[in-house]
Structure 1
Amino acid sequence: MSIDDDAPLMQVMRHFGLARDALLGIGGEACVFALDGERIVRIHHPGAARETVVRRAQLLEDLHQTASAVPFSIPRVLETTEVHGRLLTIEPRLPGRPLLHVLGEAAGAERDHLVLRFLEASTRLRDLRVSHAWYGDLCEAEPIRTPSYRSYLELRAKKSLACAGSAFDGIDPARLAAALPEPERPSFVHMDLYPGNVLVEGRDVSAVIDFGGPAIVGDARLDPLSAVIYLTPFITTTATDRDRRLAREWLQAQHLDALFEPAERWIAARWSFATDDVRLHRWCRRVLLGHQGDP
């Protein structure tokens, strides 16, 4: 559905005096508009649960206790409200352009540099602390939370695969979970770290955005693994074979390459519910079922 077909959204835009060219992006959870030079308004899609919005705001507040430990900005909620039946948050506008867009323009050594800065940023998210002894969902309205990481992985994969219907019959969530090791301790995991959710200024990462529904308490290694996994043209449309090779070489240097395939299979199961996203669903089928197809 386009913005023009969403009457309540148009009402919210009129309430704030927002023109269409103020739109910064549309994600799985919200439409984001520039409110002014310093702030954005994140207008959640119809049906968003208030509990999810509140949990995201609390998560960001908690993470800000250690935000000085990372070399980039992260979001923060200034205000949560409801306008014309739509939940929304007002947040600071963070510096930079989405890496996804910049990669559409960059080439050669400059592009390699940006890809490596993106991957390095994925390793720094572990410096954002969460004080939970369990593993599981941070922002979901009905979160799955368990005392062991593998039990969370199994239950989360099982829930997503069930939502996907019969397409993934025969995929065993327990086997997916068993292929990944238990971490030493629970850590914050962004879980949606692809180039569209990373902002860059010049040659450096300036901000990581879109902390939301996918965020979990899990294994810190999952963010660098997923950052490499998401550099597929099924997910990151500007990704190239060179980007993928560079990322896999980087993953080897981090001594994480042995976890790539089991992490990729679990992540594909985790996103398998998103049957309305044709490209993503095709990637899930290719990873889990071996189906081929053009991006």
Structure 2
Amino acid sequence: MSIEDDALLVRVMGHLGLTRGALLGIGGEACVFALGSERIARIHHPGAVRDAVVRRAQLLEGFHQTASAVPFSIPRVLEMTELHGRLITFEPRLPGRPLLHVLGEVAGAEREHLITRFLEASTRLRDLRVSPAWYGDLCEAEPIRTPSYRSYLEQRAKKSLACAGSAFDGLDPARLAAALPEPERPSFVHMDFYPGNVLVEGQEVSAVIDFGGPAIVGDARLDPLSAVIYLTPFITTTATDRDRRLAREWLKAQHLDALVEPAERWIAARWSFATDDVRLHRWCRRVLLGHQGDP
């Protein structure tokens, strides 16, 4: 659906004085518009649950107290309101451009440097402290939370696969979960750390955005693993074979290469519900069922 087909979104835009040219991006949870050079408006999609939006705001506010622990900016909710039945959060506009776009413009040593900085940033998210005595969803409307990491992985995969319909019948969520180790301690995991959610300025990562529904308390290793896994052309369309080789070499240096395959299978199960995203769903089918196809 285009913006013009969403009558309530158009009304909200008119109320806020927004034009189509102010659109910064459309994600799984919201349309994001620039409000000048200092702020953005996240206009949440129909069906957004207030409790989930509030949880995200509270999570970010907690992180703001120790945001200096990471070498990049993160979002913060300044205000939340509702217009024409749509939830809206107003947030600072963070510096930089999406790495996804920049990768379409750079090559050679500059590109390799940016890919490496992207991967290194994925290891710093664990410095954003969370301290619950459980593993599970942070911002979901109906969160799954369990005392065991593997139990959470199993329940999350089971829920997603059930939403995906019959395409993945026969897959065992317990086996997917059992293939991953228990972490030493619970840690914040962004869970959507891909080049579209990482901003760069010059040669450095300037911000990480889109902290939302996918975020969990889990194993800190899952963010660097997913950062590499998401460089598949089914998800990051500007990634090249050379980028993926560099990323796999980096992951091997972190002693995480043995976890790539089980992490990829669980991540594919986690996203299997997204049947409306053709490229992503094709990737899930390829990983979980062995189906091939052009990206």
- TM bin (shorter chain): over 0.9
1:235-261 per-residue CA deviation (whole Å, 9 max, x = no partner) reads 000010000000000000000000000
TM-score between the two structures when normalised by the length of structure 1:
0.99
2:27 is equivalent to residue 42 of structure 1: no
Query: CA separation in 1, counterparts of 2:287 and 2:111?
Result: 27
Cα deviation, residue 64, structure 1: 1.4
SS of the residue 1:31 aligns to: strand
Aligned residue runs from structure 1 range 204-243, under 5 A: 204-243=204-243
Q: 2:113, 2:167 → 1: CA distance?
A: 39
Q: How far apart are the structure 1 equivalents of 2:8 and 2:92?
A: 24
2:174 is aligned to: 174
Identify the residue that residue 153 of structure 1 maps to in structure 2. 153
Report the Cα offset of residue 65 of structure 1.
Answer: 2.0
Paired position in structure 1 for 2:196: 196
> Is 1:8 equivalent to 2:37 in the alignment?
no
Counterpart amino acid of 2:225? L
Q: Distance in 2 between matches of 1:168 and 1:269?
A: 9
TM-superposed deviation, 1:21: 0.4
Separation in 2, partners of 1:98, 1:292: 29
- Tell me how many residue pairs correspond in the alignment: 295
* Alpha-carbon distance between aligned partners in 2 of 1:64 and 1:186, rounded to the nearest angstrom: 19
Residue 19 of structure 1: CA displacement?
A: 1.0
- Residue 249 of structure 1 aligns with an amino acid whose one-letter code is E
Residue 124 of structure 2 aligns to a residue in which SS? helix
Q: Distance in 1 between matches of 2:20 and 2:269?
A: 36
Percent of aligned pairs sharing the same letter = 89
Q: What residue is the counterpart of 2:143 in the other structure?
A: 143
Quote the Cα distance in structure 2 between the aligned partners of 1:65 and 1:179: 36
2: CA distance between counterparts of 1:4 and 1:286? 34
- Counterparts of 1:71 and 1:127, CA distance in 2: 10
- The letter for the 1-side match of 2:96 is G
How many angstroms apart in 2 are the aligned matches of 1:244 and 1:293?
Answer: 18
Corresponding residue of 1:164: 164
What is the aligned-residue RMSD (CA, Å)? Answer: 0.5
Secondary structure class of the residue paired with 1:292: coil
CA distance in 1, matches of 2:174, 2:76: 36
Cα deviation, residue 133, structure 1: 1.1
1:212, CA displacement in angstroms?
0.1
Matched, 1:64 2:60: no
Residue matched to 1:286: 286
Counterparts of 1:245-260 in structure 2 under 5 Å? 245-260=245-260
> Which residue of 2 is the match for residue 18 of structure 1?
18
Q: What is the Cα deviation at residue 62 of structure 1? A: 1.2
Distance 2:63 2:28 in 1: 22
Distance in 1, Cα, partners of 2:214 & 2:86: 21
Equivalent-residue separation in structure 2 for 1:281 and 1:231 (angstroms):
15
Amino acid in the other structure paired with 1:51? D
Residue 84 of structure 1 is matched in structure 2 by: 84
Distance 2:97 2:229 in 1: 22
Q: Distance in 2 between matches of 1:164 and 1:14?
A: 36
Matched, 1:74 2:74: yes
The one-letter amino acid of 1:18's match is L
Measure, in 2, the Cα distance between the counterparts of 1:263 and 1:62: 28
Q: Distance in 1 between matches of 2:133 and 2:223?
A: 19
Deviations 1:62-95 (A, max 9, x none): 1112210100000000001001110010000000
Corresponding residue for 2:94?
94
**Is 1:275 equivalent to 2:256 in the alignment?**
no
Letter in 2 for 1:212: G
